């Protein structure tokens, strides 16, 4: 980030650095690379590189405007301001415009204004993602804590994991092993052939996995299968209603419950790929979470 306030960084270069930052973020969170990029800064409470560069540029220009010590700097800055067509001026202006900021009207509150705008935009993007439609996305920004598992937002991690299981639907590799394929997507669950190949079916419905669901015992003494068919879950009319309860809408969930559920989901995915491999009599490659 050294000298980022004066460097004429191109949007392409920034985008590449941004991709790397997202990769590191995904590795830290242990989520697949296909995870939505906009979820990463939200889950980690990080600012994006682009965000940090913009912040540095704003602070620098405010300092230039307020400069009372250096006559040399004042003359140089005035030179840019009078002409408005110098490379530094034009690029800085265009960069700040992306954040709805006017280079001529920067003030001490501009950084905070930009922060707020970016957060709102990220949350809106994330809430509108179709893969996150079945769950509630937190609507408040949060600050990073030392351990992800101790934050109340750890539920968001579980959710992201769940919505990105990659049940063979996002890669050409898997369609050769599935009976019904349409436009590269696997239509029916490859292990029971009796339902769609998606997360709702896997976690709540798939009959081939009911043995597994019965074998996973939660700390309240009940199995996943019992949980999904009794108590609060009985009132849920649909499978995605049940999934929502399971992923966070159930009353009184604690961090421990989220961790247990996250592990249970990983186990169900393991069984899914093992059963699938048995069925087609070859090892179906597993998407990795690293
Ligand atoms: Zn199934």
pLDDT digits (tens, 9 = 90+) for 23-75: 888 887 777 777 778 778 777 777 888 888 889 989 999 988 888 788 888 89
Q: Is residue 152 part of a domain?
A: no
> Which residue range is the domain that position 125 belongs to?
11-146
* Of residues 230 and 179, more confidently modeled: 230
Q: How far is the CA of 93 from the centre of ligand 1 (A)?
A: 55
Question: Residue 287 above 70 pLDDT?
Answer: no
Q: Are residues 95 and 132 in the same domain?
A: yes
pLDDT band for position 290 (cuts 50, 70, 90): very low
Number of domains in the chain: 2
Q: Are residues 169 and 142 in the same domain?
A: no
Q: Are residues 120 and 18 in the same domain?
A: yes
The last residue of a domain, from among 146, 181, 202: 146
Q: Are residues 135 and 22 in the same domain?
A: yes
Question: Residue 140 above 70 pLDDT?
Answer: no
The last residue of a domain, from among 79, 114, 146: 146
Q: What stretch of H or E contains 185?
A: strand 185-186
Q: Are residues 194 and 131 in the same domain?
A: no
Q: How far is the CA of 197 from the centre of ligand 1 (A)?
A: 7
- Tell me how far CA of residue 151 lies from CA of 67, 146, 147, 221, in angstroms: 43, 9, 7, 25
Q: Are residues 186 and 249 in the same domain?
A: yes
Q: Is residue 159 part of a domain?
A: no
Q: What stretch of H or E contains 182?
A: strand 181-182
Q: Are residues 115 and 213 in the same domain?
A: no
Q: How far is the CA of 122 from the centre of ligand 1 (A)?
A: 34
Q: What is the pTM of this model?
A: 0.59
Q: Are residues 84 and 194 in the same domain?
A: no
The last residue of a domain, from among 113, 146, 179: 146
Q: Are residues 132 and 29 in the same domain?
A: yes
* Of residues 125 and 278, more confidently modeled: 278
Q: Is residue 252 part of a domain?
A: yes
Q: How far is the CA of 112 from the centre of ligand 1 (A)?
A: 49
Query: Are 4 and 56 a contacting pair, CB within 8 Å?
Result: yes
Q: How far is the CA of 188 from the centre of ligand 1 (A)?
A: 8
């Amino acid at each position: 980030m050294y000298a980022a306030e004066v460097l004429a960084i191109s949007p392409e270069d920034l985008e590449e650095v941004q991709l790397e930052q997202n990769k590191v973020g995904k590795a830290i969170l242990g989520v697949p690379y296909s995870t939505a990029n906009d979820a990463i800064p939200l889950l980690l409470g990080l600012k994006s590189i682009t965000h940090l560069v913009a912040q540095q540029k704003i602070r620098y220009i405010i300092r230039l405007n307020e400069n009372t010590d250096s006559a040399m700097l004042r003359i140089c800055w005035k030179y840019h301001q009078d002409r408005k067509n110098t490379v530094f001026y034009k690029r800085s202006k265009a960069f700040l415009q992306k954040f709805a900021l006017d280079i001529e009207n920067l003030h001490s509150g501009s950084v905070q204004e930009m922060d707020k705008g970016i957060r709102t935009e990220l949350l809106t993007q994330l809430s509108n993602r179709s893969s996150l439609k079945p769950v509630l996305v937190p609507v408040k920004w949060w600050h990073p804590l030392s351990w992800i598992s101790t934050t109340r937002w750890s539920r968001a991690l579980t959710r992201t994991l769940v919505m990105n299981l990659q049940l063979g639907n996002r890669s050409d590799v898997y369609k050769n092993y599935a009976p019904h394929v349409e436009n590269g997507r696997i239509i029916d669950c490859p292990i029971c052939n009796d339902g769609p190949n998606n997360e709702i079916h896997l976690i709540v419905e798939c009959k081939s996995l009911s043995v597994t669901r019965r074998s996973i015992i939660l700390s309240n003494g009940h199995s996943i299968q019992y949980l999904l068919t009794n108590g609060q879950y009985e009132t849920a009319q649909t499978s995605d209603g049940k999934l929502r309860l399971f992923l966070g809408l159930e009353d009184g969930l604690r961090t421990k419950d989220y961790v247990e559920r996250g592990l249970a989901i990983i186990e169900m995915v393991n069984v899914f790929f093992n059963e699938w491999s048995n069925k087609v009599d070859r090892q179906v490659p597993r998407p990795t979470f690293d």
